Amino acid sequence: MTKEEKRALKDTTFSSWELVQNTARLCAMNLMLHGIGTNGGELPLTVADSLAGDPGERFEIVLTNPPFGKKSSTTIVGEDGKAFRETDIVEREDFWATTSNKQLNFVQHVKTLLARTAAAVS
């Protein structure tokens, strides 16, 4: 590889999303230790819910880190101090099924992210 190709590989090839702050910190540390995205000054890491919507970008390869869990839910504490769980159902136009099953939602999300000629790797 040429010097320019190596620079492009490290600075513009990778994108990442993570929901959990502590895991995102580990990801950021790993990216920095490997010199990925550091020349541009900003790491290619988005800390947000990747299932919230279609990011618009398409990729040739999508790397994931299963398992994703089984059900999506949020614990809510009411004014009376009692906690209850509310099921989080993901509904997106680009998904073929509406469900609270995290594993199926991530499979649908990965399918959305892939370019027409790409393959997924888990």
* SS3 state at 38: coil
User: What is the structure's pLDDT at 103?
Assistant: 84
Q: What is the mean pLDDT of the chain?
A: 81
The verdict on residue 44 lying in a domain is yes
52: left (phi over 0), alpha (psi -120 to 50) or beta: alpha
User: What is the structure's pLDDT at 25?
Assistant: 92
User: What is the structure's pLDDT at 32?
Assistant: 87
Domain hosting 107: range is 65-122
The residue ranges of DSSP E strands in the chain, in sequence order, are 16-18, 45-47, 59-63, 73-77, 83-87, 114-121
* pLDDT at 70 > cutoff 80: no
Q: Quick check: 64 and 50 in contact, CB under 8 A?
A: no
Average pLDDT over residues 44-71: 82
* pLDDT at 8 > cutoff 70: yes
User: What is the structure's pLDDT at 26?
Assistant: 92
The verdict on residue 60 lying in a domain is no
User: What is the structure's pLDDT at 51?
Assistant: 85
The verdict on residue 55 lying in a domain is no
pLDDT digits (tens, 9 = 90+) for 71-85: 555 566 667 777 666
| Report field, pTM of the whole predicted structure over 0.75 | no
Please, which residues bridge with residue 73 across strands? Answer: 87
The separation between CA 20 and the C-alpha centre of its own chain, rounded to angstroms, equals: 10
**38 shares its domain with 73:** no
